Structure 1
Amino acid sequence: MSIPAGPLPVPAAVRRATGGARARAVWVNAVGGLTFRLDGPGDATDGGADGGARFCKWAPAGAPLDLAAEVPRLAWAAAFTPVPRVLGHGADAEGSWLLTAALPGASAVTPRWLALPGVAVPALGRGLRALHERLPVHECPFTWSVHHRLAAAVGDVSALGDPPPVDRLVVCHGDACAPNTLLGEDGEAVAHVDLGALGVADRWADLAVATMSLEWNYGPGWEGAFLEAYGVAPDPGRTAYYRALWNAGP
Structure 2
Amino acid sequence: MLYSGPPLSPVRVPAPIAVLSEGRPVLPVWQNQLGGLTFRIGDGPDGLFAKWAPAGSGLDLAAEAVRLRWAAVRTPVPRVREHGSDASGEWLVTHALPGESAVSDRWKAEPARAVRALGTGLRALHERLPVAECPFDWSVGRRLARARRAGIEVPADLPEPPPVDRLVVCHGDPCAPNTLLHDDGSWSAHVDMGALGVADRWADLAVATWNTRWNYGPGWEDALLDAYGIAPDPRRMDFYRRLWDAT
Q: Quick one: distance in 2 between partners of 1:233 and 1:16?
A: 49
Q: Quick one: distance in 2 between partners of 1:52 and 1:232?
A: 38
Asked if the contact 2:167/2:200 (under 8 Å) is kept, the reply is yes
1:16-31 → structure 2 map (5 Å cutoff): 16-31=19-34
Q: Which runs of 5+ in 2 are unaligned?
A: none
Q: Which runs of 5+ in 1 are unaligned?
A: 41-49
TM-score relative to the length of structure 1:
0.92
Greater mean alpha carbon deviation, residues 62-71 or residues 5-14: 5-14
Q: Quick one: distance in 2 between partners of 1:58 and 1:98?
A: 7
AA matched with 2:111: P
The Cα offsets for residues 126-151 of structure 1, whole Å up to 9 and x where unpaired, read as 10001001101111111101110000
1:173-192 → structure 2 map (5 Å cutoff): 173-192=171-190
Aligned twin of 2:102: 108
Does 2:82 correspond to 1:79?
Answer: no
The Cα offsets for residues 10-51 of structure 1, whole Å up to 9 and x where unpaired, read as 1112112333332101111111111000017xxxxxxxxx42
Q: Quick one: distance in 1 between partners of 2:204 and 2:24?
A: 35
Task: Name the Cα RMSD after superposition.
Answer: 1.3
The Cα offsets for residues 78-128 of structure 1, whole Å up to 9 and x where unpaired, read as 111011010101112221110000000011001000110011001100100
SS of alignment partner, residue 46 of structure 2 = coil
Does 2:208 correspond to 1:213?
Answer: no
The percent identity for this pair of structures is 63
TM-score relative to the length of structure 2:
0.94
Q: 1:230 aligns with which of 214, 228, 231?
A: 228
1:99-178 → structure 2 map (5 Å cutoff): 99-153=93-147, 154-178=152-176
Deviation at 1:7, TM superposition (A): 4.1
Deviation at 1:173, TM superposition (A): 0.4
Q: Quick one: distance in 2 between partners of 1:173 and 1:70?
A: 11
